[in-house]
Chains A and B, each alone.
Chain A
Amino acid sequence: MIHIAKRKEMPLLQSMAIRGLSVVLALVICGVITTILTGLNPIDVYVTFFSGAFGSARKIWILLQEIAILLCVSLALAPAFKMKFWNLGGEGQVLMGALATAACMILLGDKIPNALLIACMVVYSIVAGAVWGLIPALFKAKWNTNETLFTLMMNYVAAQLVAYFIIVWEVPKGSGKIGIINQSTEAGWLPQIGDYKYLLNIILVAIITVLMYVYLKYTKHGYEISVVGESTNTARYVGIDVPKVIIRTMLLSGAICGFAGLLLVGGTDHTLATTIANSRGFTGVMVAWLAKFNPFSMIASSFLLVFMERGASEISTIYALNQSFADILTGIILFFIIGSEFFITYRVYFTKKSEEVEKADV
């Protein structure tokens, strides 16, 4: 028989070893599966995997940029999830931020000074994201509606709004696409630091990471979030205004998501599409949970996820396999990473029925 029991607290070193082992195992299984299905040499496959992430300076920059955006969304979700508010609406909040940014760029571009335009973009993207976070929070605080469904549904509304405005602003007419916004004037494009296109995004997200760490760990707000997340009854008992904390935290969560939208549209993509958030609103949930809501650990977990994804997609491209193969590999890797958390928390042991009986006879 199999028994599962909760472990005693595991030393950090041992738990890190288990996590490391799970990544190694995941890579081994991925190699085996790739070889079986495609007949390729597994060593080559691994080399390709790594070169997908680190193969050239450009690839490393893309890797860092991807990490920055994913981390930004994850940082936004962390306070909500720490409060046990299941904000699955990151996707929609990012989209709304992106939509607001694009609207500023299209409608105000060339009409007002660039600095003012960028200031508008920052403000409106944050406000748009925050509003998208606020709506489910208000309903939760006032009528205790289910935030999981509510935030999830808000994603579809946001996607439809973006789809609508893409048609309104499409260039050229009938293409169903916006194309690069203000390509000639670069109005509203976030400034580039030196030759590094992605550096600004990375620096901004690094700053948010530190701020979020301090906010969650040392401030009164952060403390209230932990108390509400662990026990609303205790929070009420010490007189914490739970609805207020929910609303405030979701405003923050949505605002940072909106800011991620700004970084995507104003910083890198310079266009708007319904797929611009690229499921980061959901991947971010995983990043935050894996790191147990510690912003610094989230750097590691977002790195891991982005690295795996880039590597897997490189294999698909180089060996002319389709995207589904990359998805299979990513799936295997995630399975192992998440599975390792189970073995860190629980101990599994086996007993045989007959053995028990023998022992009892003695």
Chain B
Amino acid sequence: MAEKQPAVRMRHISKSFGQVKANHNVDLDIYGGEILALLGENGSGKTILMNMLSGIYFPDAGSIEIQGKPVTIASPRDAFEHGIGMVHQHFRLVNVFSATENIVLGLDESEGFNLKAASEKIHAICEAYGFDVDPNQKVYEMSVSQKQTVEIVKLIYRGVDILILDEPTAVLTPQETEKLFAVLRNMRNDGKAIVIITHKLHEVQEISDRVVVLRKGENVGEMVTAKSTTQQMTNMMVGHQVTLNIERPTPVDPVERIFVNDLTVRDDEGVPKLDNVSFSAFGGEVLGIAGVSNSGQRELLEAIAGLQSIESGSIQYVGDDGQVQELAGKDPYQISSMGVALSFVPEDRLGMGLVGSMSLTDNMLLRSFRDGKSIFADRKAPRELAEKVVDELEVDTPGVDTPVRRLSGGNVQKVLVGREISSSQASFSAPMPYAAST
């Protein structure tokens, strides 16, 4: 046999959700002793493809072979039986249980739990691969990275040889990422097949042996990591030539637009989310906010937009005429009534910002429905705006009466951005906090 036997061979896999084709005729081979990076933009169908391998979804068409044998994977339990396990982006752990309890949860309990033996076995796994887990620690006391480790150990404990990690580094600091990668390399050297789903190119370069690129739900090609450049990967991912070296001219005449001063925000449980944060944002520049997920970025942006109640501190907006206005403690409607041209494009576009079941027109109406004295909502202007947005931003939609939910992620984004830009007249001079979903 000239070729190595793949651990997993997926052929002609297709999956649709309503009218949305999530995966179309995808072929994918996964080999033992190799780290495969599944690369693609948001919404390119990476997670859905892997969910079909791990038994969350069932493909509409296509076949899956494990170690050369055709199989049907209809549930996560089936997937475990075939040695496939997945660490999801959002962990699936029981907070009040210890690491050991979480790891044995859902196993066949016919012989009863032997937690002591289990924790010894967990210990052995940790020793072998270099994990750092205290089997008796409760999940709620753990850091995000520890929780992730528990998820991985859980899979190894169950004898998984094909390990799928969905965006594993999104929640990790650079140091934690290094540690994770070291462990993944150990596992690869042990002969396990590892798939990591990602859209971060430098990580692909660093950890993977082979890259498969998905675009719009289709497999558009693969390459050996060592022989390819990030430029090649990007081009394949996006589908056309992209310049990675964006010119960044120094902002011309930056004017201070927003001062945030000693901003403190606590969540419902009283845990501080923002602790005395101060900064200024200037007109004419793009300000990036860096940090591991869930470090308070969302709270910060929501506080500025008037969606988050603030414990202390101030948020001041400087208008074009130099007039300073306090935004803290105002709701979004009050902010826009003050004439402050501020737009906030939220992270979760269909959960906040747009109404999925409503048409494009009705979504445009969200910003303007209060206009006029009449008790009736005026849909004429929003309809024109919707048509304009569709036209100018090249939104791919059957019409302005189509529910937004049926559009693809990128088009949904365009609808939202289109509305926000038009609703704030001075939008380009106004700051536009933008939360990317990385």
Binding between chains A and B? yes
Partner-B contacts on A (CB < 8 A): 1, 3, 5-9, 218-224, 226-227, 230-231, 233-234, 236-241, 353, 356-357, 359-361
19 more A-B residue pairs beyond the given contacts A234-B352, A240-B333, with a C-beta to C-beta distance below 8 A: A1-B72, A3-B58, A220-B376, A224-B369, A231-B350, A231-B355, A231-B356, A234-B351, A234-B353, A236-B332, A237-B305, A237-B307, A238-B366, A239-B331, A241-B333, A357-B70, A360-B11, A360-B70, A361-B70
Tell yes or no: B80 within 8 A of A by CB.
no
Give the distance to chain B from A93, nearest Cβ to Cβ, in Å. 24
**A221 CA / B65 CA spacing, docked (Å):** 56
Which residues of chain A have C-beta atoms less than 8 A from B117's C-beta? none
In chain B, positions 46-69 with a C-beta closer than 8 Å to chain A are 58, 60, 63-65
**A179 CA / B5 CA spacing, docked (Å):** 87
Q: How many residues of B are counted as interface, with CB atoms below 8 angstroms from the partner's CB atoms?
A: 43
Contact of A226 with B377 in the complex, beta carbons under 8 Å: no
Closest A residue to B17 by CB, please name it. Answer: A6
**A218 CA / B377 CA spacing, docked (Å):** 6
Give the distance to chain A from B433, nearest Cβ to Cβ, in Å. 13
Contact of A233 with B352 in the complex, beta carbons under 8 Å: yes
Closest A residue to B405 by CB, please name it. Answer: A230
Which residues of chain B have C-beta atoms less than 8 A from A359's C-beta? 63
In chain B, positions 350-393 with a C-beta closer than 8 Å to chain A are 350-358, 362, 365-367, 369-370, 375-377
Partner-A contacts on B (CB < 8 A): 11, 16-19, 58, 60, 63-65, 70, 72, 74, 305-307, 331-336, 344, 346, 348, 350-358, 362, 365-367, 369-370, 375-377
Give the distance to chain B from A360, nearest Cβ to Cβ, in Å. 3
Listed A/B pairs (8) with beta-carbon separation below 8 Å: A6-B18, A9-B18, A221-B375, A227-B366, A234-B353, A234-B355, A236-B332, A239-B334
Which residues of chain B have C-beta atoms less than 8 A from A353's C-beta? 72
Closest A residue to B378 by CB, please name it. Answer: A220
Q: A226-B355, A356-B70, A361-B70 are in contact. Are A237 and B377 (CB under 8 A)?
A: no
Closest B residue to A357 by CB, please name it. Answer: B70
Which residues of chain A have C-beta atoms less than 8 A from B70's C-beta? 356-357, 360-361
**A356 CA / B62 CA spacing, docked (Å):** 9
**A218 CA / B348 CA spacing, docked (Å):** 28
**A227 CA / B353 CA spacing, docked (Å):** 11
**A6 CA / B18 CA spacing, docked (Å):** 6
Give the distance to chain B from A344, nearest Cβ to Cβ, in Å. 13
Closest B residue to A239 by CB, please name it. Answer: B333
Contact of B377 with A231 in the complex, beta carbons under 8 Å: no
Contact of B358 with A226 in the complex, beta carbons under 8 Å: yes
**A241 CA / B306 CA spacing, docked (Å):** 13
**A227 CA / B60 CA spacing, docked (Å):** 34
Give the distance to chain A from B71, nearest Cβ to Cβ, in Å. 8
Contact of B377 with A5 in the complex, beta carbons under 8 Å: no
Contact of A230 with B377 in the complex, beta carbons under 8 Å: no
Which residues of chain B have C-beta atoms less than 8 A from A233's C-beta? 348, 351-352
**A239 CA / B286 CA spacing, docked (Å):** 26
Give the distance to chain B from A310, nearest Cβ to Cβ, in Å. 35
Give the distance to chain A from B252, nearest Cβ to Cβ, in Å. 32
Contact of B369 with A220 in the complex, beta carbons under 8 Å: yes
Which residues of chain A have C-beta atoms less than 8 A from B354's C-beta? 234
Which residues of chain B have C-beta atoms less than 8 A from A237's C-beta? 305, 307, 332, 344, 346, 352-353
4 tightest Cβ-Cβ pairs between the two chains A and B? A239-B333, A360-B70, A360-B63, A239-B332
Q: Which of these, A8, A9, A227, contacts B355 with CB under 8 Å?
A: A227
Which residues of chain B have C-beta atoms less than 8 A from A241's C-beta? 331, 333
Closest A residue to B374 by CB, please name it. Answer: A220
Closest A residue to B379 by CB, please name it. Answer: A218
Which residues of chain A have C-beta atoms less than 8 A from B65's C-beta? 360
Give the distance to chain B from A6, nearest Cβ to Cβ, in Å. 5
Which residues of chain A have C-beta atoms less than 8 A from B63's C-beta? 356, 359-360
Give the distance to chain A from B117, nearest Cβ to Cβ, in Å. 35
**A236 CA / B330 CA spacing, docked (Å):** 12
**A227 CA / B356 CA spacing, docked (Å):** 10
Closest B residue to A353 by CB, please name it. Answer: B72
Contact of A219 with B307 in the complex, beta carbons under 8 Å: no
Closest B residue to A232 by CB, please name it. Answer: B352
Contact of A230 with B356 in the complex, beta carbons under 8 Å: yes
Contact of A231 with B352 in the complex, beta carbons under 8 Å: yes
Q: A226-B358, A231-B352 are in contact. Are A238 and B332 (CB under 8 A)?
A: yes
Contact of B60 with A5 in the complex, beta carbons under 8 Å: yes
- From A218, A236, A238, A360, residue with most partner B Cβ within 10 Å: A238
Which residues of chain B have C-beta atoms less than 8 A from A236's C-beta? 307, 331-332, 352
Contact of A239 with B336 in the complex, beta carbons under 8 Å: yes
Closest A residue to B365 by CB, please name it. Answer: A223
Q: A218-B376, A218-B377, A221-B375 are in contact. Are A230 and B18 (CB under 8 A)?
A: no
Which residues of chain B have C-beta atoms less than 8 A from A5's C-beta? 16-17, 60
Give the distance to chain B from A68, nearest Cβ to Cβ, in Å. 26
Closest B residue to A214 by CB, please name it. Answer: B376
